[in-house]
Structure 1
Amino acid sequence: MPETDFLNDSKVIPGKLEFYRDSVRFEVTGSIPVESAFSPRNPKINLLLKSSENSILFEDIKLTKKVAAYEYKKSFVLAYEPWMEGAFLEVQFFQGRKTQLVPSQKKILARGIITTPLLAKIGKVNPDEPIPQVGLFISTGVMDADLSRMGEFLIRFDEGSSSVKMDASNKGEIADLKTFLTENSAVISFRITGTQSPESSEGKTSKLGMDRAEAVRRMLEDSNVLLRDSLTEVNSRWNDWFDLRLQLREYEKLSTQRKDQYYAVLADGADYQSQTQALKKIPGFNQVARDLFPSLRSVKIEVVAKPLPGLNQAQAALLRQALNENTASSDLDMADWAIAGEASPRLEDKAKIYSKMTELFRSVVPYNNLAVVKMRMAQRTLDQATKDLLWKEANELLYQASKIATDPYVLHNQGQILVLQGKMWEAYKKLSDASVLTRNQDFLKYNESLRGALDIMRGDYKLAALRFDYPYSEAKDFFNKGLAYFLSKDYANASLSFEESVMAGRNYGYGFYGLAMVAAESGQTEIALLQLDKAIHASELIYQKALVDPIFEEIRSSDEFFQIFRSSVNRNEK
């Protein structure tokens, strides 16, 4: 027969396959032309989903004979499996002998599956990435002592000045900082960032911002605030609208529509000067500048810290005695034991303390906390059998705790284990029940972040975005928040949240990956490549995903795309 493109009309809807909830749904349609002299004999259509690891063959799609063509349309719902992410979808056309094994023609309809919801951070351990912290300890009447808290303090400056002016506002900020450090004495990080407004009096270089940051550092040291060099970061931002974006969130003099105009400019990827000119064209900008620019003449102090409880020497001696003796009593009360458990840095020591507590006290606390120790031990092993055993032991302890009392921490930890076991729907019920039982904002922040991650995987993206309405400090939470906005197609808020993820942890490549996705969806190829280059150097998992992610299909054929991957390989080899 003469060459006829029998698959020319064949297509898949949607054009890019996507993971949604727990499946991949699509429809294949097309028509096989019937020419007067060369009608195909015994036409047949098959569909193949194939990767290097596995494949599924869908045979004998029904053909309906029309006057000028055989038509076909069929919908598919496939339970998603990991091997499908890098698979291609191919339609095959057969004619002639019914036993023919080799198709006469074939056509690739889609390459890869968009699995963006599966990027949600739920506590899973990935190779070459930091081990995520899971589980919530019940501490001595407050939120889990292992969870960090973030304090932000703003020192304002006169226009063009780098001299710290100890007015009532700045004195109040320093007093609040000292109170925060008193309550949270274990400092994890201390960031001092000098900023300056775009006003001409603020200078034409970043020198003023850095001078301000250094001035605040000296002032803190003179005020007896202990700054450890290894934990302290002093820097500045200049020609950067990031801080203005944050201020716009709380600015009440603009309508939502007008704010969207600002966000559209600030998220367009243009250079600073171009964005400045675009901002000035927005009606009312002069008023916004008068209200918000003074706050850009400042130094932002960001401290991540946590409480550091502990026992005195006499209590520590009693603790050692109780742990070494086979006795059913103790001179320490339960609060002392709980503080000892919180203060012990090693999981093995915590396990001994909480295990002994289960013998001494009938309380939810030791059973729950020992279960958390088991969960975190499970995070640190690569052996799946050992991991499963530790999860089983943790679940048994949580069951014992639930028999004593219904507790939100117990429900959260049961939900977290179910998440790690892949039982998402059961986990969601546990986490939802936990949120109902308490109004503790610190607990809800942590519980709702995991619940929001599951909402992303469940396909309820707008609800997921609402879950993250808490002050977070960890890069993973900002990333999940950005993911929820991205999947809701709210790219302005997605971009802001991904930027916050980058600011919270520059070595956490997922924030850069999120920014690359936003840029790719917005048609900003150069920005997408720039952010992708940063992302793939942070994680092998991100590197592998970027190679097959259909979100980047339009830029994958460019030389620039493969150049960033070649550069990554060369750097790794060195």
Structure 2
Amino acid sequence: MIDQLFKKKPILLLFILFPLLCGSIMVPETDFLKDSKVTPGKLEFVRDSVRFEVTGTIPIESALSPRNPKVAILLKSSENSMFFDDIELTKNVADYSYNESIVLAYEPWMEGAFLEVQFFQGKKAQVEPYQRKILARGIITTPLLAKVGKVNPDEPIPQVGLFIPTGATDVDLSRSREFLIKFDAGSSAIKMTSGNSQVIADLKSFLTENSAVLSFKITGVQSPENAEGSSSKLGMDRAEAVKDLLKQSNISVRDSLLEVNSRWNDWFDFRLLLREYEKLSTQRKDQYYAVLLNESDYQSQTLALRKISGFNQVASDLFPSLRVAKIEVVAKPLPGLNQSQSLILQKALEQSSANSELDMADWAIAGETTPRLEDKAKIYSKMTELFRSVIPYNNLAVVKMRMAQRTLDQETKELLWKEANNLLYQAAKIDTNPYVLHNQGQIMVLQGKTWDAYKKLSDASVLTRNEDFLKYNESLRGALDIMRGDYKLATLRFDYDYTEAKDFFNKGLAYYLSKDFANASLSFEESVMAGRNYGYGFYGLAMIAAESGQAEVALLQLDRAIHASELLYQKALVDPIFEEIRSTDEFFQIFRPSESSSKD
């Protein structure tokens, strides 16, 4: 019967099926989150927090409109997540609208998180959202790149803390000395006469007392006598002979400090001898100097000298002293105590006596010039028993700080920081000192107490105008300005002549965040020049290139940065600054290991 009905009236069948066809095929599914957005478009860390606003509407479309709709926001990474499901919706004529402002205290896990908005239809049994939309990936944490002394894997350990200096290492103690090895006329063979043997002994003694050699020059000299030859070969042979003699005498000099040459057809050495020659009157010497200083060529000077009365006698007396090789040494004693003082120091360290034959200056110099932290700790610890002074307490605290830098164990690190803080507290009770305040601030920075640290560093800057101190204190203060969001102020902190790559990088970071890309680029380039293996300068240049849409340049600089630092490698993978180039094959190509490294 029904079949007959449909046959007679096929239009009836179409009428019944039409709504079903429309529901499953023809009616498009509503995109309830199509105009959801976040402001700013890329999430950013600013002044220890992340602030953003999520807005959007849910359309009301007659029978298809949801009942009791709900919108939630999810911030999620592989490590953690935060869920906001109490978003207030306002019902309007054609839609539901929402506008939610969120402020989050920044936590490290957030850097690689994504921000997602979720739509629920309002059904009680619904657990999974009906629709999802990712609004942002990652968080721009550029201010946290500021270098403040924290230790990162595969990077050099940053030097933290400031010792109170004695000034002993700044005094110029260099001294120069000349030694002459004599030769027979026309010969480059060294005869170990008593005179030459004494010269070698004197040289050894000088180097023992002044073992920090600054320069070492050997110059073969020839007298103007005919027997000395007509070329400079003899002089060079003499210089090389002396070089060999030094090796045989166990006098070693670094190649970078050693200079070997010769002089020939030159009255320079004769002029030096003439100065000490006592057989001539001042008036007659002036005749010689008039010739020797007239800047004529050698032959012209020779002819002029021979015309001076008595020249042959002068030549007879002085020429033999020009058959030599000169050893000219500039050196200084190693900083620190001499041998006898060192013995007294060692004895004092081994005893429990509260007295010492050395004064405080000697102890302070010993501590300053000792290279090993363990030895510094012994000296400064003993000094706290012998002297009531800020120096040993402050400097022992710095030793503890630098020991903390060397350990990866957080519990040990915290213990060393605690010991350092106790020592600095004792130093502060003795006297108010900028070095003590700086070191207290530096520990606070490493502990993450940046706001308290800033107050300490600011107080330290007020107490002194010492340029060397301010150079370090203000650079750390400027790095904190960057982290605190005071970018313009940070640029003013770096008005010093820096040499370290980290300081140039921090300076560039301050300019970059202030949108002064020209000065930022210059500072990042200076960072690269100061340390080509320090990848942060390259990372800064990559950020500037990405900001200006120079994708190829950004990739080139980023390639150099990530191969210098594992931390930068990981950061580049999630940094929203490079979001526009992250979808390209060229971006991921730079992260692939080279064929040579993959074979290894």
Assess, with a 3 A threshold, how the Cα gap between structure 1 residues 142 and 311 changes in structure 2: closer, same or farther. Answer: closer
Q: 1:309 Cα shift? A: 2.7
2:460 is aligned to 434
In the alignment, which residue of structure 2 is the partner of 1:344?
Answer: 370
Question: Could you tell me how far apart the structure 2 residues matched to 1:87 and 1:63 are?
Answer: 25
Tell me the distance in 1 between the aligned counterparts of 2:107 and 2:170: 36
1:546 to 2:572 alignment: yes
The match for 2:447 is: 421
Paired residue type of 2:468: D
Is residue 143–residue 443 contact of structure 1 (8 Å, CA) maintained in 2? no
Residues 536, 568 of structure 1: 8 Å contact kept: no
1:297 corresponds in structure 2 to none
Distance 2:341 2:599 in 1: 53
Give the distance between the partners of 2:213 and 2:56, measured in 1 at CA.
63
- Measure how far apart 1:60 and its partner are: 2.9
Pairs within 5 Å for 1:111-510: 111-141=137-167, 309-510=335-536
1:430-450 CA distance string (max 9 Å, x none): 000000000000000000000
Native 8 Å contact 2:150 2:158 kept in 1: yes
Question: Is residue 143–residue 442 contact of structure 1 (8 Å, CA) maintained in 2?
Answer: no
Change in CA separation of 1:14 and 1:230 when aligned onto 2, cut-off 3 Å = farther
Counterpart of 1:58? 84
Q: What's 2:101 paired with?
A: 75
Q: Tell me the equivalent position of 1:24.
A: 50
Q: Alignment identity in percent?
A: 82
State the shift of 1:104 in Å.
1.0
- Secondary structure class of the residue paired with 2:44: strand
> Is the alpha carbon distance of 1:119 and 1:231 closer, same or farther for their aligned partners in structure 2, counting shifts above 3 Å?
farther
Cα distance in 2 between the residues matched to 1:77 and 1:470 = 37
Letter matched to residue 517 of structure 1: M
Match for 2:35 among 1, 6, 9?
9
- Could you say which residue in structure 2 is the equivalent of 1:528? 554
Q: Deviations over 1:449-507 (max 9, x none)?
A: 00001000000011111100000000000000011011111111111100000000000
1:41 CA drift (Å): 2.0
The CA deviation at 1:573 is 6.4
Q: May I ask how many residue pairs the two structures share in their alignment?
A: 425
Q: Closer, same or farther in 2 for the Cα pair 1:569/1:396, shift >3 Å?
A: farther
Q: Secondary structure at the match of 1:478?
A: helix
Query: Are the aligned partners of 1:34 and 1:40 in contact in 2 as well (CA < 8 Å)?
Result: yes
Question: Secondary structure in 1 aligned to 2:532?
Answer: coil
Which protein is bigger by CA-based radius of gyration? Answer: 2
> Does structure 2 conserve the Cα–Cα contact (< 8 Å) formed by 1:84 and 1:112?
yes
Equivalent of 1:36 in 56, 59, 62: 62
Residues 1:96 and 1:7: Cα distance change in structure 2 (over 3 Å): same
> CA RMSD of the aligned region, Å?
2.4
Question: 518, 522, 537: which is aligned to 1:511?
Answer: 537
1:187 deviation in Å? 11
State the TM-score, normalizing by the size of structure 1: 0.71
Verify the 8 A CA contact 1:42 1:98 in the aligned structure 2: no
> For 1:565, what is the secondary structure of its paired residue?
coil
Deviations 1:165-200, CA, capped at 9 Å, x for gaps: xxxxxxxxxxxxxxxxxxxx9899xxxxxxxxxxxx
Amino acid at match of 2:94: A
**TM-score normalized by the length of structure 2:** 0.68
Superposed displacement of residue 397, structure 1: 0.5
User: Letter of the aligned partner of 2:526 in structure 1?
Assistant: E
SS of the residue corresponding to residue 445 of structure 2 reads helix
Deviation for aligned residue 1:227: 11
Letter in 2 for 1:21: R
The answer to whether the 8 Å contact 2:70/2:122 transfers is: no
Mapped to 2, the partners of 1:523 and 1:569 lie a distance apart of: 30
Paired position in structure 2 for 1:559 = 585
How far apart are residue 99 of structure 1 and its match? Answer: 3.1
Report the CA distance between 1:333 and its aligned residue.
1.2
Per-residue Cα deviation, 1:311-365 (whole angstroms, up to 9, x for no partner) = 1112112111211222111111111111111111100000000011111111000
- Would you say the 8 A contact 2:168–2:365 is kept in 1? no
**AA paired with 1:444?**
L
Asked if the contact 1:24–1:79 (Cα under 8 Å) also holds between the matched residues in 2, the reply is yes
Alignment partners' CA distance in 2, 1:550 and 1:137: 40
Q: Which residue of 2 aligns with 1:218?
A: none
SS in 1 for 2:591: helix
Inter-partner Cα distance in structure 1 for 2:510 and 2:597? 33
| SS of residue paired to 2:62 | coil
C-alpha offsets along residues 393-450 of structure 1, whole Å, 9 cap, x if unaligned?
1111100000000000000000000111111111101000000000000000000000
* Structure-2 separation of matches of 1:539 and 1:569: 20
Residues 130-173 of structure 1: per-residue CA shift (max 9 Å, x gap): 1000000001148999xxxxxxxxxxxxxxxxxxxxxxxxxxxx
Q: For the Cα contact (< 8 Å) 2:169–2:335, is it kept in 1? A: no
* TM-superposition CA deviations, 1:278-310 (whole Å, max 9, x none): xxxxxxxxxxxxxxxxxxxxxxxxxxxxx9631
Which of structure 1's runs of 4+ aligned residues deviate more than 2 A? 141-145, 185-188, 226-232, 567-574
- Between the aligned partners of 1:144 and 1:83, the Cα distance in structure 2 is 46
C-alpha separation in 2, matches of 1:503 and 1:13? 38
Contact 2:120 2:129 in 1 (8 A): yes
CA deviation string 1:89-123 (max 9, x = no partner): 00001104133111111100000000000100000
What's the counterpart of residue 180 of structure 1?
none
Shift of 1:532: 0.3
- Going from structure 1 to structure 2, the CA distance change for 1:139 and 1:51 (only over 3 Å counts) comes to same
Query: Amino acid of the residue matched to residue 550 of structure 1?
Result: P
